[in-house]
Structure 1
Amino acid sequence: MADLHVRDDVRKFLEMLEQMGGKAAHEGTPAEARMAFNMMTPLGDLEPVDLAVITDMHCDGPAGRIPLRYYDARADRGDSPVILFLHGGGFVIGNLDTHHPFCTSLAKALDLPVVAVDYRLAPEHPFPAAPDDCEAAARWVASNPVALPFTPTGLVPCGDSAGGNLAIVTARALQKEPADVPVVAQFPIYPLVDSQGEYESFRECSEGFLLTAETMEWFGKHYAAEAGNERNDVLHQDLAGTPPTVVVTAGLDPLRDQGEAYAAKLRDSRVSVREMTADGNIHGFICIRKMIPSSQQDIDQMFVLMNETLEEVGAK
């Protein structure tokens, strides 16, 4: 930790976790890890932002109903692009509630409707259940369903960590086989893009910064994605034609370097990219704003870049 820049509030949070002890995710069962993540949300994150509309709904998926949650700062919304939010959690943990506070902030700051997707989780539903559900939800939203009180004009996949991976995978799927409305931008936040690569950030940050190498291995074992599969290791695919993108990384994240490599490859592929690193912060910071108050500054900066991208594509 001494060789890397660590913010004061991040250091205090990590020291608190160490003093508390308890099981890491990989030391228990998926059910135990899910319960711990669910309990952390009210303790670690800010209160949800008040919005005009927060509604639970669902769509049909390849294996049954997919729970969704619709957010909007406006009670009356006309034709509009829509953000499809895909939560993080290593494809094993997380749900609509763990990322509920952030989704309310996202809808408010970008002044766009947000539809969050509760896709199936591993190990009960290993790869490719998650990308299958996310693609199905994206196509449903794009189809202008009567359940939505506005007319979608474009899709903006967004997600953190595993959800960042799924946002990219979903955008690629709809690039290959277009939905009823186009993907106009994508916003992956500290995404997993290369499950097989070796990166300096992985060696630097594999212990002591919340997300560890052992936990990542545990997630990957449960998710059971094929190495090199284009719906998982997205860094090694042809990125030409990717929509304008905001890539967010964290300085103390094992995934930092692969996120930066993805942004670099997008630029090499002549894709419009805005990139930021939350220097001195850790993986997962969008869900621990109460415990790490400086995370809100990172999120504010991220929202500025997202709004600039939306203005670029005429979505604002």
Structure 2
Amino acid sequence: MTPIPSEAPDEVLAFNAWVADQTRHAPPLRKVGAAAGRKAREDGRSILGRPRLSTRASVRTIDGPDGPITLRTIQPEGREPGGIFLHIHGGGWTWGGPHHHDPLMESLADQTGLVTVSTSYRLAPEHPYPAAPDDCEATALWLLENGPATFGQELVAIGGESAGGHLTAVTCVRLRDRHGLTPFRAALLTYGCFDLRGTPSMRAFGDQPLILNTSSIDWFVELFAQGHDLKDPDLSPIWADLAGLPEALFTVGGLDPMLDDTLFMAARWKAAGNRASLDVWPGGIHAFDLFDNDYGRAARSRMHRFLNAVLGES
């Protein structure tokens, strides 16, 4: 087991310098625009490279609140399935898709025995709030009703990163408040944006060229919220009643503008009576766990161990 270091390793600092060098001259996202940003991601012109699709993934569509929702499923290999993990992708509620996470979902499935189901949702600005949380809620309800017959498994865990971490928290609260359901036993809340008004670390981050910064977050929030009250708990779940929610692992890098969102939300999660673990990875930037390097692999391995420990409990 690789422990979290007490300070940023040299290789992490070198990686951060490489990211900054690759992105410092990129135009602001506000100038790039949503459509061009999506195309760049699909064409492999983003810092994350071209999406790597799994030959093991199967795709189905279900009826959503306003059109079809795509579910991308990967079954575990080498062990018996032990439940369904609902994954919600990031991308500032504006771009991204379930196919962007195939290698991560393969690894999670094989290391935990969970059937991974990564959901699409309608994207801003064409489909602002509440489209994305409505679709994620609909997917969770569909899996609860149809998971046993379709996959032979029950929905037991949920998780997402960045905007997906935000939508994960919102989905948990919505299922409890709107449907009286608390099905999840474990949640991965990975550098989510939990207070859309902007926490101190987000406001102080400035325009550092490290994947995400203050101006890009402001732009994403504008496209998603489009004038809605940012203190509404359905937009900023840090303001929600968090009682009765699943045991959660909060993960964030020490150089992520979402640092305070994670610190504050983890504290509120525990204060509400839930079990929670908090991992702060020194020197980690936003999305550090998505890269295929030692730090990214260590963070993902920690998430797998967390799921195995929680879901293995009787």
Provide TM-score, normalisation by structure 2.
Answer: 0.87
In the alignment, is residue 160 of structure 1 matched against residue 165 of structure 2? no
Q: For the structure 1 residues 17 and 160, does the alpha-carbon distance in structure 2 shift closer, same or farther, using more than 3 Å as the test?
A: same
1:50 to partner: Cα distance:
6.7
* Counterpart residue type for residue 72 of structure 1: Q
Residue aligning to 1:196: 197
Q: CA deviation at 1:38?
A: 2.5
| Matching residue of 1:7 | 13
Question: What letter is aligned with 1:227?
Answer: L
Q: Which amino acid aligns with 1:167?
A: T
1:16 to 8, 19, 22: 22
Summarize deviations over 1:97-128 as a string: whole Å, max 9, x none.
Answer: 22222222222222100110010000110000
Q: Is the 8 A contact 2:206 2:213 kept in 1?
A: yes
Q: Is the 8 A contact 1:87 1:117 kept in 2?
A: yes
Return the letter of the residue paired with 1:211.
L
Deviation of the 1:206 alpha carbon: 4.8
Partner of 2:259 in structure 1?
256
Cα pair distance change 1:221/1:49, threshold 3 Å = closer
In the TM superposition, 1:1-316 aligns within 5 A as 7-18=13-24, 21-40=25-44, 44=48, 53-74=56-77, 80-144=82-146, 148-152=150-154, 154-178=155-179, 182-200=183-201, 202-204=203-205, 206-224=207-225, 225-289=228-292, 292-312=293-313, 314=314
Structure 1 unpaired stretches of 5+: none
How far 1:311 sits from its partner (Å)?
2.5
How many Å apart are 1:58 and its aligned residue?
A: 1.2
TM superposition shift of 1:310: 2.1
Counterpart CA distance in 2 for 1:251 and 1:72 is: 33
1:16-44 CA deviation, whole Å, 9 max, x = no partner? 333xx333422212111111222348973
1:111–1:49 distance in 2 versus 1, CA, 3 Å: farther
The 1:279/1:218 distance shift into structure 2, 3 A limit, reads same
Name the CA distance, whole Å, in 2 between partners of 1:41 and 1:16.
Answer: 11
User: Partner amino acid for 2:279?
Assistant: M
Q: For structure 2, list consecutive stretches of 5 or more residues without a partner in the other structure.
A: 1-6
2:4 is matched with none
Decide whether aligned partners of structure 1 residues 104 and 76 sit closer, same or farther in structure 2, where only a CA change above 3 A counts. closer
Shift of 1:149: 3.0
> What is the percentage of aligned positions where both structures have the same residue?
27
Aligned equivalents of 2:181 and 2:45: distance in 1? 35
In structure 1, give the amino acid aligned to 2:33.
T
Shift of 1:57: 0.6
Cα distance change, pair 201–216 in 1 and its aligned pair in 2 (3 A): closer
Cα drift, residue 203 of structure 1: 0.8
1:173-231 deviation per Cα after TM superposition (whole angstroms, max 9, x unaligned): 11224478822221111111001143135414652322011111111111024311221
Aligned length: 303
The separation in 1 between residues aligned to 2:267 and 2:164, in whole angstroms, is 20
Equivalent position amino acid for 2:183 in 1 = P
Provide the rounded CA distance (Å) in 2 between the counterparts of 1:50 and 1:239: 36
> Given the two structures, how large is their TM-score scaled by the length of structure 1?
0.86
